[in-house]
Structure 1
Amino acid sequence: MKYVIGIDGGTQSTKVGIYDLEGRIICEEKVMLRPLLVPDADTAEHPEDDLWDSLVTACQRLMRKFEGSKKDILGIGLGSIRCCRTYLKKDGTLAYPVINWMDKRLAKPYQNDIKDMAYLSTTTGYLTVRMTGQFKDTAANYEGVYGPFDKKEWKWSDDPQDYKEYNITRENLFDLVMPGDLLGYVTKEASEATLLPEGCPVIATANDKAAEGLGAGLRDDGSVLVSLGTYIGGMM
């Protein structure tokens, strides 16, 4: 038997599952996230390092439950919450708590007010660094104002002048890969923390809602998906 792992980071929980190549669930785990820090109507932050900590706990429980061989796990698909923003240090750790999609600051560019900020990224970008050590991200998770992103070409602008209104430079942004492409491999450090197999390929997916739509069978323009999540959304 061969297997793949899916990681689904949501607004309220982190979910992980192991599947066989026919799509059958072998085992799964879910860890609830801590309540958002909402001191006022404009602010919504994930406390401390909750996205990574919940992923570590969920993966540990999953791998302890898994009765197969780690050698038979072919890859890991990484997906997480859309429309969030992460500010990271040079080593890829958080320079500031993860800003949730309900935070009104996401309507504004970077304000040059975060100490030690070297990178501006998404939840998938942050988790990619923690899992693989690579400063890469899926191009399919860039909803919101992050920089001059060309949605038709799925790439950053090549013109340095386009970055001025965002108060960043190209060096502050991760390299992008397409969904289905390789982000990197699970590092020894990440393997020790999560119990995931060291060296296992980590594959780019999309954001949580886009992956949900595809998983539900939303593959053409004649179907609509009603999503009853943290908020109710219609997608087509």
Structure 2
Amino acid sequence: MHEPLILAIDNGTQSVRALLFDLRGELVAKAQVPLQDYTSPHPGWAEHDPEGFWRALCLACRRLWAEPGADRARIAGVAVTTQRGTVINLDRAGRPLRPAITWLDQRRTDEVPPVGALWRAAFKLARVDGTVNYFRGEAEINWIRAHQPEVWRATDKFLLLSGYLNWRLCGRFADSSGSQVAYLPFDYRRRRWAGRRDWKWQALAVEPHMLPELAEPGARLGEIGAAAARDTGIPQGLPLLAAAADKACEVLGAGCAAPHVGCLSYGTTATINATTTRYLEATPFVPPYPAALPGAYSVEVQVFRGYWMVNWFKEQFGHHEQARALLEDVAPERLFDELARAVPPGAMGLMLQPYWTPGIRVPGREAKGAIIGFGDVHTRAHVYRAILEGLAYALREGKERIERRGGARITELRVSGGGSQSDVAMQLTADIFGLPTARPHVHETSGLGAAIDAAVGLGLHPDFDAALRAMTRVGRVFEPDAASQAVYERLYREVYLKMYRRLRPMYRDIARITGYPQRV
């Protein structure tokens, strides 16, 4: 009898992938469809047609069945993981009322629901009133009520992308507690919707009836319906299991379930995560996110736009390598690795602070990116390596913040995301952190994390410990080089950690003089 397979659907920022995994965590078959329907009607906006997400999912599944090894009869269940923070308004018939507002969107509003006087006083006393006001202004539902009141009035359901795709697949408005990373009235400590007296219900223009039912990762959400089976080719009646958001699934798929194992994600947003069963805020009043493990938290520090900066460099300065790659029929990434490898550790003193897009509290909203230390010896190659190093410095700072806030000491690293495929990026990460740094055995760690949730929920592995032992393992391990580590240690301590504090007043002056960014 053939071993069961799990179908994991991973709707990321750049593509939708349909992935089949076996119970050893091996990728049996894969199909991928790029997402090209993003629109920006105004500067800073980022929207996507909800039907476009569904069409891409359906196409990815239909392409999967043509792949070798994609035996539909062996599929035991389905799980969905998606990009975080992308929201969709539906009417009473379940039809989208407007384009999805994606996590990349930067719009905000000053027309926000009022918060009671007692809550305002408490926030001011705790010195988090600025963070709360930022939360209210950034919330998509508040912008919709202020600027598109007819959409807000017609909204019957306000879903994350994960909840929307789950509904299309099984016909229920249900989602995983592990997917709730957004401006929603969610109680991160208890991993459920906030209680009726919680301040978030005052701060957000969301009504309880607009939200889906929540289930913990691994729980059964429903079954694949007839319409979904017709559109996707997934067998009707297969169980649909709750997974979690893509970053949470990535951490699980990388095997980072113990608090001493740090998980770096070199994706569009670069992150460092540590999994813990204790509620721990790496940044005060910014909660840890729900993990893909039931009852656990993923303590996270982000570098927004992270490895987007690598793509930015390639688009702006990497035309030579991209042209060579076409002529020589090699992957462009190999040539960019050669570019970085030609530069010594420390990029001959070129230091980059990767705040191309500022955060909520750390760094402050006035932050900008910076490159210092230029000399006549520096070339494109030095800039490229400085980007890779700057991202690793920022994530090391995040690691130390997690540890200072009471997290376990992180003693080893695993790296996922597109950037993990670069040997140069992996080695300099090991050198900057001074820790052994490993790739997971498969690249598709988000999908694997979703498959692990499904495998446990279906009883194909008895528990998460057994599933992690069976389905995750490390590939190549990069050990720190002592000489490089010594250079990086001094640059990090004596230069990088001082950059933001010293440049911060000038960032504010730039914003005051030029008006960019406006919100400081």
Q: What's the TM-score, normalizing by structure 2?
A: 0.43
Residues 1:168 and 2:206 aligned together: yes
Aligned counterparts of 2:28 and 2:254: Cα–Cα separation in 1: 19
- Which segment is superposed worse, 215-224 or 9-18? 215-224
Aligned counterparts of 2:99 and 2:17: Cα–Cα separation in 1: 21
More strand by share: 1
CA distances 1:5-40 after superposition (whole Å, capped 9, x unpaired): 111110000011112222222211010001521233
- Which segment is superposed worse, 180-189 or 152-161? 152-161
After TM superposition, the structure 1 = structure 2 runs for residues 135-150 of structure 1, keeping only pairs within 5 Å, are 135-147=173-185, 149-150=186-187
Aligned counterparts of 1:143 and 1:48: Cα–Cα separation in 2: 18
Q: 1:66 to 1:119 in 2, by over 3 A?
A: farther
Amino acid at match of 1:88: L
Amino acid at match of 2:208: R
Residues 1:187 and 2:218 aligned together: no
Pairing partner for 1:220 from 248, 258, 269: 258
Q: 1:86 to 1:105 in 2, by over 3 A?
A: farther
Aligned twin of 2:192: 155
Residues 1:65 and 2:67 aligned together: yes
Aligned twin of 1:55: 57
CA distances 1:192-222 after superposition (whole Å, capped 9, x unpaired): 0000010001111110111011111211221
Deviation at 1:146, TM superposition (A): 1.6
Does the 8 Å contact 1:92/1:129 carry over to 2?
A: no
Amino acid at match of 2:19: G
Aligned twin of 2:121: none
CA distances 1:31-68 after superposition (whole Å, capped 9, x unpaired): 00015212333311113522111100000111233556
Aligned counterparts of 2:267 and 2:206: Cα–Cα separation in 1: 33
Q: 1:66 to 1:130 in 2, by over 3 A?
A: farther
Q: Give secondary structure in 2 for the equivalent of 1:16.
A: strand
Aligned twin of 1:95: 97
Q: Which of 1 and 2 has greater Rg?
A: 2
Aligned counterparts of 1:6 and 1:58: Cα–Cα separation in 2: 11
Aligned twin of 1:208: 246
RMSD: 1.9
After TM superposition, the structure 1 = structure 2 runs for residues 36-47 of structure 1, keeping only pairs within 5 Å, are 36-47=38-49
Deviation at 1:152, TM superposition (A): 1.7
Deviation at 1:138, TM superposition (A): 0.7
Aligned twin of 2:340: none
- Which segment is superposed worse, 48-57 or 9-18? 48-57
Q: Give secondary structure in 1 for the equivalent of 2:65.
A: helix
CA distances 1:75-131 after superposition (whole Å, capped 9, x unpaired): 011111112111112233322111110112471243332163211110110001100
Amino acid at match of 1:31: V
Aligned twin of 1:104: 106
Deviation at 1:234, TM superposition (A): 2.2
Does the 8 Å contact 1:93/1:130 carry over to 2?
A: no
Amino acid at match of 1:195: G
Aligned twin of 1:8: 10
Aligned counterparts of 2:189 and 2:198: Cα–Cα separation in 1: 20
Aligned counterparts of 2:29 and 2:223: Cα–Cα separation in 1: 22
Alignment size in residue pairs: 235
Does the 8 Å contact 1:44/1:99 carry over to 2?
A: yes
* Unaligned runs of at least 5 residues, structure 2: 109-137, 275-520
Pairing partner for 2:267 from 209, 229, 236: 229
Q: Give secondary structure in 2 for the equivalent of 1:91.
A: coil
Q: What's the TM-score, normalizing by structure 1?
A: 0.92
Does the 8 Å contact 2:50/2:88 carry over to 1?
A: no
Aligned twin of 1:128: 166
Aligned counterparts of 1:68 and 1:43: Cα–Cα separation in 2: 38
Aligned counterparts of 1:26 and 1:216: Cα–Cα separation in 2: 17
Amino acid at match of 1:159: R
Q: Give secondary structure in 1 for the equivalent of 2:66.
A: helix
Aligned counterparts of 1:168 and 1:226: Cα–Cα separation in 2: 33
Q: 1:89 to 1:64 in 2, by over 3 A?
A: farther
> Quick one: higher RCO (CA 8 Å, sep 6+), 1 or 2?
1
Q: Give secondary structure in 2 for the equivalent of 1:121.
A: strand
* Unaligned runs of at least 5 residues, structure 1: none
Amino acid at match of 2:234: L
Aligned twin of 1:117: 155
